[in-house]
Structure 1
Amino acid sequence: MPHPSLPLGRRYDIDGRQLMLHHSGGSGPTVVFLAGVGLMSLDYLNIHNRVAELTGSVLYDRAGTGWSDPVDLPRTAAEVTDELHDLLRAAAVPGPYLLAGHSLGGAYARHYARRFPGEVAGLLLLDPFHEDLVVRAPRRARERLEQMMKEMRDQELVELTEEQIRQSRDQMAPHFAAWPEPVRGPLIERHLATWRSASQENQNLYDKVADEFRRAPGTPDVPLIVLSAMGHDATQAHLWPEDLLREINEGKRALHAELAAEAPRGEHRILDDAGHGWLHEERPDAVLQAVNDLLQKESSAT
């Protein structure tokens, strides 16, 4: 099946698969963005462009997402981090890396740092997934999450109708209005073509992958900032009653504080005016400030 042309970046051959990577900016520690589930590389283009004014910056798509080749999903965290490790080398991206991971991408960033500590200059975790989110959630939330995961495993992912595609395209257009015109249309169409990947990538998240994260080595002593998005998120508000979502978010806040405490130079910052899914668009200033602070900390330590 022919691959859609890339609006930006290029593809590199990694173990027989073509993976998309876009690299901008100058010298210094390279910021590498790891997307959350349901998102892809160019969803982070606007913040990437601002980071590239400070230092090198990389966007990429995991196999099975965005403009990278398909792969059987779900996968292990080891497979995902090995793939990124090989891709950065194939693309000759200079290290050390400041990994900026969002949601599940934040957990993958932690896993990469634990497995390849000598390559990582810092960690920026953007409202990251935590392996104990479910086991420490309120009972009602835990039961609901377990039911949702079962439904995702059992659900047959049927083709969207032309009407559903048209409605989805119309709904996405206002959101992506801030993206450069040459990217906007292809990005919307890629979302419409790859919407299944989010459900597929999540399928073993709360059991096998969570256990994999728990068994990983400790977080290395690198500068680390965790940003917790505690503001309104339309998707989460649709899924959860308000009182239960408040309990879930308080549990998330506690887990994120623990993540920050894993590293001697860890810091936890709260964003009360940003939601989980698009905090990098709602508060790009906070993301950029965190990147700049991590670069300064890394510079002062060398």
Structure 2
Amino acid sequence: MEEAVKAGKMQDIGGIKLYYEFVEKPNSDVTVVFESGYGCPSEYWGPIKDTVGKFAQYIMYDRPGLGKSEKDDRPKDSNQAVENLRTLLQRANIKPPYVLVGHSIGGINVRLYASKYPEEVAAMVLLDSCHPDQNIILPPLFDEELRDNYFKQFIVEGSLDDIDASFNEARCRPSLGNMPLKVVSAGLQSYHTKASHTAWNLLQRDLLHLSKNSKHIIVENAGHGIHIDQPEAVTSVIQYTIEEINF
């Protein structure tokens, strides 16, 4: 049976409409949910979406004010992002269980989703995910130019205050028990000094403590945008994760 593609739809989540693409695969047991990095529209999943669509159904979407989604005045913290996503999934009739795939700040969003609604989440894949303590630990290790650029970036989608609120929300949530978790980290030193990259790697390894069923995977020759630099490696991790939970 051919897979059905529902692309380019808008869904009202209560006051605004979000753009999403859903590829439905008959008899699929789970849905892969892509959660983008800071300021990134859903098109950033382009390098892996078609390959993932060969073995799983998936949804990718634009958060408010990004890509083709409408803007709104609601907070831009992770708690609001989680509720927006959950409303989208429910109103688009995309039922759980989900495999949540979060990149960068999207990693904070999906871990918050998984801790709030664990009964809806089958597994989680973090792609060079943010860590709640990074704004405390990393900036002193940046050089002046890098520190300036780091803090100036938070104007596209939420402010630095929104980011700090998101980190606090994630920090206060309980662990994920035995939920399958893959922590996928970049092998290259992009956007880092040598010292901050060492600290970043320690923060990445700390994410393994979110679940008792976790695994750390370092993707060589990939920077922060792992799924863009090494799409085959990322799709392999997602496929393996789905096969593991369906075993």
Common fold, TM-score beyond 0.5?
yes
What does the per-residue CA deviation read over 1:11-60, in whole Å, with 9 as the maximum and x for residues that have no partner? Answer: 00011110111011411211010010121111212311111111111111
| Higher share in strand | 2
In the TM superposition, 1:1-302 aligns within 5 A as 8-26=7-25, 27-72=28-73, 75-137=76-138, 139-141=140-142, 151=152, 197=156, 200-233=157-190, 236=191, 245-276=193-224, 278-300=225-247
Q: Which amino acid aligns with 2:35?
A: L
**Structure 2 segments unaligned to the other structure (5+ residues):** 1-5
| Higher share in helix | 1
Mapped to 1, the partners of 2:229 and 2:151 lie a distance apart of: 32
Structure 1 residues 129 and 73: alpha-carbon distance in aligned structure 2, compared to 1, 3 A threshold: farther
Q: Which amino acid aligns with 1:49?
A: D
Q: Could you tell me how far 1:248 is from its partner in structure 2?
A: 1.3
Asked whether the 8 Å contact 1:149–1:203 carries over to 2, the reply is: no
SS of the residue corresponding to residue 54 of structure 2 reads coil
TM-score (norm 1): 0.73
Q: Could you tell me how far 1:205 is from its partner in structure 2?
A: 4.5
Q: Which amino acid aligns with 2:12?
A: D
Mapped to 2, the partners of 1:246 and 1:13 lie a distance apart of: 45
SS of the residue corresponding to residue 227 of structure 1 reads strand
The alignment yields a C-alpha RMSD, in angstroms, of: 2.3
TM-score (norm 2): 0.88
| Count of residue pairs the alignment pairs up | 240
Partner of 1:4: none
Q: Could you tell me how far 1:232 is from its partner in structure 2?
A: 5.0
Asked whether the 8 Å contact 2:104–2:128 carries over to 1, the reply is: yes
Structure 1 residues 142 and 126: alpha-carbon distance in aligned structure 2, compared to 1, 3 A threshold: same
Q: Could you tell me how far 1:270 is from its partner in structure 2?
A: 0.8
Structure 1 residues 142 and 96: alpha-carbon distance in aligned structure 2, compared to 1, 3 A threshold: farther
Q: Could you tell me how far 1:254 is from its partner in structure 2?
A: 1.1
Q: Which amino acid aligns with 2:126?
A: L
What does the per-residue CA deviation read over 1:233-255, in whole Å, with 9 as the maximum and x for residues that have no partner? Answer: 3xx2xxx5xxxx12112111111
Mapped to 2, the partners of 1:202 and 1:297 lie a distance apart of: 38
More off after superposition, 72-81 vs 14-23? 72-81
Partner of 1:181: none
**Structure 1 segments unaligned to the other structure (5+ residues):** 1-6, 154-195
SS of the residue corresponding to residue 160 of structure 2 reads coil
